Amino acid sequence: MNKSPNVVFHKAAVTRPRRETLNGHRSINLWFTGLSGSGKSTIAHAVEERLHLMGCRTYVFDGDNVRHGLCSDLGFSREDRAENLRRIAEMVKLFIDAGVISLTAFISPLEKDRQRVKEIIGPEDLIEIYCNCPLEICEQRDVKGLYKKAREGKIKNYTGISAPYEAPKNPDIELFTGYQSIEECIETVIRELVRRGIIFRHGY
């Protein structure tokens, strides 16, 4: 429920289509979901680098970075995780209106929370990308030592160990990051953006 009933939405003269025309590409959100260590942030930043070199306007929302600012007041309870994603979705919606290709790398473990994100952003403006990686490989990549702490009971409600991860049933893109190279993952995402007419690239 909106707690500011007297606030009126202002319609801008410079619209999303005008911004997209200026940018030379359409705006979209690439929502990367998967276990910690599945490669979400690595691939999101790699895709952004490729898009940037192609002349696209982009921005990556990384889970850890967002929690240093916009969501620094939130913990990791189910309620706080849901609020974290709600705030991100609302921010992404603004970036889409600005004509930007946004990339979001969040575990986002629960289907109902991801569905809420799609409702806020709009399913037509979101490409769900599932970074499918076996838990044992994610644990091997555990540079922060968080899985080890979770196994020892030092971290509660850790996704994949003491909290569930509900894999997307029908993601728009599924990357098998346990064995696919970063380059293969980048190409898969770029091809989908070209197929949808978000960007234009010779050779496809």
Q: Give me the active site residues, please.
A: 108
Characterise 84 by phi-psi region: left (phi > 0), alpha (psi -120 to 50), beta (else).
Answer: alpha
Residue 27: count of CB within 10 angstroms of its CB: 23
Q: Which two tokens stand for residue 45?
A: 């930043």
State the Cα–Cα distance between residues 118 and 12, nearest whole angstrom. 24
Q: In Å, how far are 12, 14, 27, 45, 67 from 9, measured between CA atoms?
A: 9, 15, 21, 33, 28
Q: In Å, how far are 67, 106, 124, 161, 182 from 41, measured between CA atoms?
A: 14, 8, 23, 20, 11
Contact 45, 204 (CB under 8 A): no
Q: 188 in helix, strand or coil?
A: helix
